[in-house]
Structure 1
Amino acid sequence: METKKSRELQLERNSNLYFAIGLAAILALIYLALEWKTYYPSYDEFAQLEITDELIEEVPITIQKLPPPPPPKIQTPPVIEIVPDEEDIVETVIESNEPDQDTEIADVSDIEVIDDDIPDEVPWVSIEDVPVFPGCENADDKRVCFQEMVQKHVRKNFRYPKLAQEMELHGRVNVIFTIQKDGSIGNVRMRGPHQLLEREAERIISKLPQMTPGKQRGTPVKVPFAIPITFKLQ
């Protein structure tokens, strides 16, 4: 004979209802916790300025006497002088400086000649007669021929230093040298990423041949020239 259980005493009867009520209550508590806001009291409520009576000082009233104004300047009336009548003025005759048949001709040796103000050094872009590189004497454009021959000289004498290759040194060396009045190369200046590359650039420029110097108004002058030498690892 099976035992009969009453449905009112079964715990599983309203389990879904209890679960829904508990879940709703938990969600409501979470929502209230997230939306809860608190406010801190303002610092203005605690910060107050108090001035004691001892620090308050009454400034005494003083009366300052101003200096009296300076006396007004009395302008004296101008003195009128009576000038006597001028005497008869003798007019001077201004002689002409134009040469005529009676003018004496000066000797050529007595005439002073002013020397032309020619600078000692003239930039490459403004030199009248550029320096002539050997082999460019008959070129139509000696300026372009000079630049091409210098570049050809650099490519011919270029040697990448082994130590610089091992150190993986590379970059551009800017070289400025001056063609002197006698056609020689001097005043070589360099600026590059390392001394090894600068020394190699100096060695290349030192092998430049003797040139015909540049001239300004027919006078030999110094002419600076700049060229970059690039060291690039393969």
Structure 2
Amino acid sequence: MELKKNPKKDLKRNSGMYFVAGLAMVLSLAYVALEWKTFYGDTYERTAMTVDDELIEEVDLVQLAPPPPPPPPPVAPDVIEVVEDDEPIVESVIDVPEPNQDTEVIEVEDVDFIEEPVDVAVPFSVIEDVPVFPGCESETDKRACFNSMIQKHIGKTFRYPELEQEMGIQGKVSVMFEIQKDGSIGNIRMRGPNKNLEKEAARIISKLPKMTPGKQRGNPVRVPFAIPITFKLSN
């Protein structure tokens, strides 16, 4: 038996239109799925800061006074008087002497400059020429001779104050003094544990003989010197 096709029942007649419609629907669904946004509500609680009424300070309102109005402008005069300037103008004239060919020009080298001595104090440890103690003039090391003669002078002149000796007061007195530019002793300062011990140390230093002054670059200068004097009782 031979099968026959009905032309009205052609299944492929509208297949193209259905394909295009299905493709458009799939693309629409894909676009909506990609652009879909989900909004979530607030999941936290908002907390408000409260301030106790007692901590709130009431401030009175002060009304500021308006600024004063500006002063009125000066009133212009009705008639303007023109005053002539009769005072003569005095020109300042600088009197410059005329150059004289007979004037003798002095060379700078012919002018004598007087150098005033500078009163400075140079420490004993750095001075060029140390003060010379009497008896050390012929010694090669005058610094060592100076220190030795100072110690001999202290030992020869030393006297322990009787009251401090009876009370058993001992200690070290630091004495600072200066050998002046004329070789004399001055500006004696003491620091110790007892006033009487300080006075005795000052007396010992004041008995130092006059020395040959120290020199720096050939000029006499003041030389400060410091030495400790120990007051110690023997057992």
TM-score range, shorter chain: 0.5 to 0.7
5+ residue gaps, structure 1: 1-50, 58-103
- Tell me the residue number matched to 1:156: 156
Quickly say closer, same or farther: Cα 1:147–1:109, change in 2 above 3 A.
Answer: same
- Tell me the residue number matched to 1:201: 201
Deviation of the 1:227 alpha carbon = 0.5
Query: Aligned partners of 1:53 and 1:213: how far apart in 2?
Result: 85
Between the aligned residues of both structures, percent identity stands at 61
Q: CA RMSD in A?
A: 2.7
**In terms of Rg, which structure is larger?**
2
3-state DSSP class of the match of 1:124?
A: coil
Deviation of the 1:220 alpha carbon = 0.6
CA contact (8 A) 1:118 1:216 kept: no
3-state DSSP class of the match of 2:125?
A: helix
Deviation of the 1:141 alpha carbon = 0.7
Query: Aligned partners of 1:198 and 1:56: how far apart in 2?
Result: 67
Runs of 4 or more consecutive aligned structure 1 residues displaced over 2 Å after TM superposition: 51-57, 104-110, 112-119
Quickly say closer, same or farther: Cα 1:55–1:160, change in 2 above 3 A.
Answer: closer
TM-score (normalised: structure 1): 0.53
Count the aligned residue pairs: 137
Query: Aligned partners of 1:56 and 1:176: how far apart in 2?
Result: 67
3-state DSSP class of the match of 2:160?
A: coil
- Tell me the residue number matched to 1:169: 169
1:109 counterpart = 2:117: no
Deviation of the 1:109 alpha carbon = 2.2
3-state DSSP class of the match of 1:133?
A: coil
- Tell me the residue number matched to 1:128: 128
Counterpart amino acid of 2:109? V
Query: Aligned partners of 2:52 and 2:109: how far apart in 1?
Result: 104
- Tell me the residue number matched to 2:215: 215
5+ residue gaps, structure 2: 1-49, 57-104
3-state DSSP class of the match of 1:172?
A: strand
Query: Aligned partners of 1:125 and 1:184: how far apart in 2?
Result: 19
